[in-house]
Amino acid sequence: MNFFLLIAIPLLGYSLRNYHKAFLWYFLFRIFLSNFVPFLAIAGLPQIRMSLVCDAWFIFLPILRYLIKANGKIVIPRLLPIFKPFAWMIFLILFSSIVSFLPFFNSINSAVLECISSYIFPLLFFAEIKQSEDLKFIIKGLMVVSIIAAIYGAFEAFMFRFMNPLVLYEQSLNPNNIDPLWVYETLARGSRGRVSSIFAHAIGCGCTMAIFTVFFLYIKGAHEKYIASNKLYYAAVFSSILLVGLCNCRSPYPLLLISLLALWNFRPFLRLATSGIILLVVFHSELSSFIDVFLSIFDKNIEQQMGGGSNVEMRTEQFEALIRAWLSGNPIIGEGAYATRYWLERKIGLLGGESIWISLLLETGLLGCFFYLYIMKNLVTLGQGYGKRLIFFFVVGWIVMKTATSTPGLDDSLFFMIMFCIAKMDMKLFPEKCELKSFK
């Protein structure tokens, strides 16, 4: 039985009565919906993701209601100039997938998934955050989610010995999954184990919690009125930091450390830094495994002790394979949303497709790289005051992280939505000029 359906279907039904409230609840529920969770899975056919169905429902329901009320008079809402790169990226993904030489069904299927979940849904999220009470609800919900994830992650590490029953259950819902994917045990990563908690992969867990850590610290320092309880805040920050350590991955650290630079003069950050130094001194031996993960970024000997990693020769071969694959298609607009998976399955030397620039060049070409950077630039422009500074460092950390490594299990759209939350907190009284109008 798919227990996720038992939550999703009533939530979708509730949206018919109170769309806005249901949307906010779905945003929190969506964090639990990994790529493994199907809405429909039939043997021999591609699974239909739960998140895709729910995202599409919340996107098209207000449009359908608008069309019913319009009586033939259709007025397309204007998109703020700051969000136009999102529209250009959506068009490019769809167009390149349609004209691609790759299998049409696979290309269109991948394009629809990416456009809806990665770009359209975050814009809808921005439109639905209409008042400060919405932000308070979301922030409180994210803190509760962080605590739940940490509690489950602790059970995963110390009771299940780094085996994740939730991920195994999610994969069992798809009859096409024969062998478990991304499942770790105590012997993984130099006998240190890896925790993925409620996420599909340990890297996705660590990176998400790194974002939450900095986000919570910023709220405490700049917008404390949005914190429902100090006890909840401290529990959430502790939970997020704990999971960053338990995931046993290097990927979250560039994002975490770079984004923290925006908060260097904030009291919550100074307290965290002081507490961290004290903990390192007192519990150095107990924390040695976590320290090694961080030091492995700079020390190749420690990296090899943890199970090895990439080297210059491997990256050179990967780059050469990327150039061959990229130039074999359309280098300007790419070959559509299915291109990365297509070339990875051909095993031409792309390894795991690490770095976002591999997927951008193969799928959307040079134009896609330009639009993606334009989106990031506009995210910074959207911010105001301290929020603008934080978004800038977040964007820099995000690009560094996504350039250096792949991020399985990480929902890129969640990053956009957290940036929108930061921007919304600095928009006085949520003025109309700052809102992306949604269909009514």
- pLDDT of amino acid 417: 97
The whole-angstrom separation of Cα 278 and Cα 265 is: 19
- Below-70 pLDDT ranges, the chain: 70-77, 179-180, 182-192, 268-313, 315, 428-440
Closest CA to 117 of 57, 199, 47, 43: 57
pLDDT at 212: 97
Write the CA distances from 229 to 18, 145, 220, 221, 422, integer angstroms. Answer: 27, 15, 11, 14, 19
Q: What is the pLDDT of residues 87-112, one digit of tens each?
A: 999 999 999 999 999 999 999 999 99
Give domain status of residue 379, yes or no. yes
Is residue 439 assigned to a domain? Answer: no
> What's the longest Cα–Cα distance across the chain?
70
Give me the pLDDT at residue 117, please: 95
Query: Is 224 domain-assigned?
Result: yes
Q: What is the pLDDT of residues 219-232, one digit of tens each?
A: 988 898 999 999 99
Q: Is residue 239 part of a domain?
A: yes
What pLDDT score does 311 carry? 53
Q: What is the pLDDT of residue 380?
A: 94
Domain residue limits at 398: 3-434
Nearest to 216 by CA among 151, 278, 142: 142
With respect to residue 76, please indicate whether it lies within any of the assigned structural domains: yes
**In a domain? residue 440:** no
**pLDDT score for 7:** 96
Nearest to 360 by CA among 324, 380, 335: 335
Strands 48-49 and 38-40: antiparallel
Q: Report the pLDDT value the prediction gives residue 437, as an integer from 0 to 100.
A: 42
Q: State residue 177's pLDDT score.
A: 78
Overall number of domains in the chain? 1
pLDDT score of 188: 53
Contact 149, 440 (CB under 8 A): no
**Full-model pTM:** 0.88
Let me know if residue 108 belongs to a domain: yes
